[in-house]
């Protein structure tokens, strides 16, 4: 196992398309790092550069203290799990796992031992003589995992490995992949566009957009301390609610005001604006941090547009002009559409964003 | 009661369907059967009317005296009577006729034996039968056609070389078309097909000039080049679509797991492309093996096998049954090759496509 370091890595396709821009990343030993972002954000390209499947336009990549920037894939000692599994259809499961070991001229007995061990770890020891076409998608995925473990790589790369599985299997494979990672203690880079996958698996999440890193942090960090509007919007279902507000300083304290809202900030919160000179900001509030309150404590009153029961809770949608706010409320009592609802916010969870730079003000 | 119309409708549909299938089968099988049967007929049989469906295995003869010597008659199964075929006193002529025309080898001593029976016996006619040598047409074909065996070997050599050239060049080009994006790719891919738009005859004369300038006229290498041009085009299209069907990630996986580009090609790409390469090889073989028109023009003293068969048909030798035997010899390698390669075309690892 080893660390991975990417320094000022840039990838251009042709002359004008910049897929990855000045990418800097340090992955610690045994860390499970997730590259997260919408499709086309460059996360897969970044990973493929680590694998050596894409050439680096500029910058350097180190695995441990080895520079691998110019090395071909086979000399990097990484292993990869592909989105479509990429198990070789003309080889049995055994041969798929043994492929890399044979190329390393591993002794037959040892090879046999390693193949059986890793097959056991991936729970496919009974399928060794089968061909991939005789396996289900989940089983093929396990073959890909076993193949990746068998070579004992420095870095594990996983390119959306769960996206081709059906929803239920995907969730259970998450747990297993994570368990295998913990058991093998492998440094892992995992690419996904599924934020819930990222949240549930990652030690740290790297959020990318348009080839650039927007935020790096633990799942808690990116969720509760989103650095930009993009991150706050991208992470979480339903996503963060945003309200355009203006700052009004009055005798009883600082108010955040818009035509629907009049929120008196608690003492600790107003200090975030001390160095902020603009009059407007964008208020970000997660749905679960919106409270349904009595009318006298209300900061915002409106009619319920629709309520979506989720079993354990309900999602209440409220229309403000052309903006829809979603709040999470207890499952009971159900709120009928058209009912007046009064909302207030858990103030310590509020995020304030600069409307021009979209960056968070309170950090 | 009202089920009947439905049943009748179904019956009619089925009947039409099976009639169609049978017609199709007959129209494919009949000519082939006819060729095979014809190649075993004797010269006399092949020019008789109506033509026998199956070759006879033996022939009944009658021998009797005549003014000039002996009268040899052959039993005609259709007319159900003996027909006189020869009136001669020369036993050698009789023996040659029996072998060459009727396909029943009969030596002079054997004929002398029959004549002795005739002279010593009480009857004025002697009946006897002779067994037919079924392979006579084949041995005769190779015996009398100029150059048949060398031509056969030459044809095999040309077909093999054409496969080699067009698979290596066409396969590589197909891989490039499938894997790389470059300026003018589509135009180039189309222009490869362009060469197939010209019939061989149309460009034969320039071909003769070019090949003789290269010193390849009337040599197997010349025909190989000419055939390769056409089959490279076909190979490019077949292999390009096969390579396109092989996910790039399979190759990438091989590279990540320790293979060089060459190992990746040998261990992953090539085995996966085998069915397509086999199909391309088959088309190339069939094309090069049976091609006649260009071969007639581009060879002079060193013809290919189809040219020899063609010449035997033309009348230089002039027996349709010999030509049929030659034709079947021409067909056999194609049939063997197709059966051999079929295995690979059908082979899809555990019964599933890539």
Write down all domains in chain A, each with its CATH number in brackets. Answer: 4-234 (3.40.50.300), 241-353 (2.40.50.140)
Q: Which of A51, A73, A131 sits opposite B350 (nearest CB)?
A: A131
Distance (Å) of CA A346 to CA A239, A292, A328, B117: 16, 11, 13, 130
Nearest-CA residue of chain A relative to B257? A100
Q: What is the pLDDT of residues A157-204, one digit of tens each?
A: 999 988 888 888 888 888 888 888 888 888 999 999 999 999 999 999
Contacts of A86 in chain B (CB under 8 A): 247, 249-250, 252-253
User: How much is the ipTM here?
Assistant: 0.84
Q: Give the pLDDT of chain A (363 residues) as one tens digit per residue.
A: 689 999 999 999 988 889 999 999 999 999 999 999 999 899 999 999 999 999 999 999 999 999 999 999 999 999 999 998 999 999 999 999 999 999 999 999 999 999 999 999 888 999 999 999 899 988 999 999 999 989 989 999 999 988 888 888 888 888 888 888 888 888 999 999 999 999 999 999 999 999 999 999 999 999 999 999 999 999 988 899 999 999 888 888 888 888 888 888 887 787 777 778 888 899 999 999 998 888 888 888 888 899 999 889 999 999 888 888 999 998 888 888 888 889 999 988 899 999 999 898 876
Task: Check A84 against B263: CB less than 8 A apart.
Answer: no
Å between A87 CA and nearest CA of chain B: 7
Q: How far apart are CA A149 and CA A180, in angstroms?
A: 9
Q: Which of A72, A86, A147 sits opposite B247 (nearest CB)?
A: A86
Residues of B with CB under 8 A from a CB of A: 247, 249-250, 252-260, 263, 267-268, 271-272, 349-352, 354
Task: Check A53 against B272: CB less than 8 A apart.
Answer: no
The answer to whether the pTM exceeds 0.80 is no
Residues of A with CB under 8 A from a CB of B: 51-53, 72-74, 78-80, 82-84, 86-90, 99-100, 103-104, 130-134, 147, 151, 157
Q: Which CATH architecture has domain B141-346?
A: Orthogonal Bundle (1.10)
Between chain A and chain B, the number of residue pairs with CB atoms below 8 A apart is 75
Å between A221 CA and nearest CA of chain B: 33
Q: How far apart are CA B324 and CA B154, in angstroms?
A: 20
Q: Which of B258, B272, B351 sits opposite A90 (nearest CB)?
A: B272
Q: How far apart are CA A354 and CA A282, in angstroms?
A: 6
The tokens for B263 are: 């190992």
Q: How far apart are CA B98 and CA B87, in angstroms?
A: 13
Task: Check A74 against B249: CB less than 8 A apart.
Answer: no
């Amino acid at each position: 196992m080893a660390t991975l370091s990417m320094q000022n890595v840039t990838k251009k396709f042709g002359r004008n398309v910049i897929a990855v821009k000045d990418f800097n990343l340090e992955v610690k030993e045994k860390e499970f790092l997730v590259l997260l972002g919408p499709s086309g954000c460059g996360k897969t390209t970044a990973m493929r550069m680590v694998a050596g499947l894409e050439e680096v336009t500029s910058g350097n990549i180190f695995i441990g203290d080895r520079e691998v920037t110019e090395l071909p894939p086979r000399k990097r000692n990484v292993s990869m799990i592909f989105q479509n599994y990429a198990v070789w259809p003309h080889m049995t499961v055994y041969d798929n796992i043994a492929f890399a070991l044979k190329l390393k001229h591993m002794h037959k007995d040892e090879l046999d031992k390693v193949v059986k061990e890793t097959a056991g770890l991936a729970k496919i020891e009974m399928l060794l003589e089968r061909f991939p076409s005789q396996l289900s998608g989940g089983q093929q995925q396990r073959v890909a995992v076993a193949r990746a473990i068998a070579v004992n790589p420095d870095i594990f790369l996983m390119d959306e490995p769960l996206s081709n599985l059906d929803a239920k299997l995907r969730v259970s494979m998450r747990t297993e992949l994570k368990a295998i990672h913990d058991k093998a203690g492998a440094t892992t880079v995992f690419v996904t566009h599924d934020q819930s996958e990222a949240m549930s698996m990652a030690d740290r999440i790297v959020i990318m957009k348009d080839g650039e890193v927007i935020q790096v942090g633990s799942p808690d960090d990116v969720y509760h301390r989103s650095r930009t509007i993009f991150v706050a919007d991208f992470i979480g279902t339903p996503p963060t609610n945003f309200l355009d507000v203006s700052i009004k300083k009055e005798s009883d304290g600082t108010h955040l005001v818009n035509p629907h809202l009049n929120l008196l900030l608690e003492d600790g919160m107003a200090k975030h604006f001390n160095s902020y000179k603009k009059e407007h900001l964008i208020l970000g509030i997660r749905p679960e941090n919106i409270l349904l309150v009595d009318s006298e404590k209300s900061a915002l009153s409106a009619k319920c547009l629709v309520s979506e029961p989720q079993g354990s809770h309900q999602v209440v949608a409220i229309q403000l002009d052309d903006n829809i706010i979603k709040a999470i409320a207890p499952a009971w009592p159900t709120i009928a559409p058209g009912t007046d609802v009064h909302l207030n916010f858990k103030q310590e969870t509020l995020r304030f964003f600069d409307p021009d730079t979209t960056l968070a003000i309170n950090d | 009661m009202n089920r009947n119309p439905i049943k009748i409708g179904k019956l009619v549909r089925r009947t039409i369907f099976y009639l169609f299938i049978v017609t199709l089968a007959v129209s494919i099988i009949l000519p082939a059967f006819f060729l095979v049967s014809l190649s075993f007929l004797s010269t006399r049989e092949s020019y008789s009317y109506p033509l026998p469906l199956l070759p006879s295995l033996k022939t009944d003869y009658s021998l009797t005296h005549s003014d000039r010597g002996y009268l040899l008659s052959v039993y005609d199964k259709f007319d159900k009577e003996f027909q006189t075929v020869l009136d001669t006193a020369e036993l050698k002529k009789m023996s040659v006729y029996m072998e060459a025309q009727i396909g029943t080898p009969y030596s002079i001593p054997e004929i002398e034996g029959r004549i002795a029976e005739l002279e010593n016996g009480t009857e004025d006619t002697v009946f006897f039968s002779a067994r037919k040598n079924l392979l006579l047409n084949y041995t005769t074909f190779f015996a009398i056609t100029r150059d048949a065996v060398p031509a056969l070997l030459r044809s095999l050599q040309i077909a093999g070389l054409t496969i080699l050239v067009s698979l290596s060049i066409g396969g590589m080009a197909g891989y490039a078309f499938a894997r790389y994006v470059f300026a003018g790719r589509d135009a180039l891919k189309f222009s490869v097909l362009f060469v197939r738009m010209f019939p061989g005859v149309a460009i034969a004369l320039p071909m003769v000039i070019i090949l003789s300038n290269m010193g390849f006229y009337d040599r197997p290498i010349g025909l190989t080049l000419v055939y390769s041009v056409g089959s490279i085009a076909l190979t490019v299209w077949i292999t390009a679509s096969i390579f396109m069907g092989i996910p790039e990630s399979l190759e990438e996986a091989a590279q990540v797991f320790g293979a060089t580009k060459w190992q990746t090609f040998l261990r992953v790409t090539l085995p996966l492309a085998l069915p397509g390469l086999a199909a391309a090889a088959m088309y190339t073989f069939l094309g090069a093996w049976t091609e006649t028109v260009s071969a007639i023009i581009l060879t002079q003293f060193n013809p290919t096998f189809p040219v020899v068969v063609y010449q035997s048909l033309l009348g230089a030798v002039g027996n349709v049954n010999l030509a049929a035997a030659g034709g079947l010899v021409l067909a056999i390698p194609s049939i063997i090759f197709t059966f051999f390669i079929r295995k690979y075309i059908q082979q899809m690892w555990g019964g599933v496509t890539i």
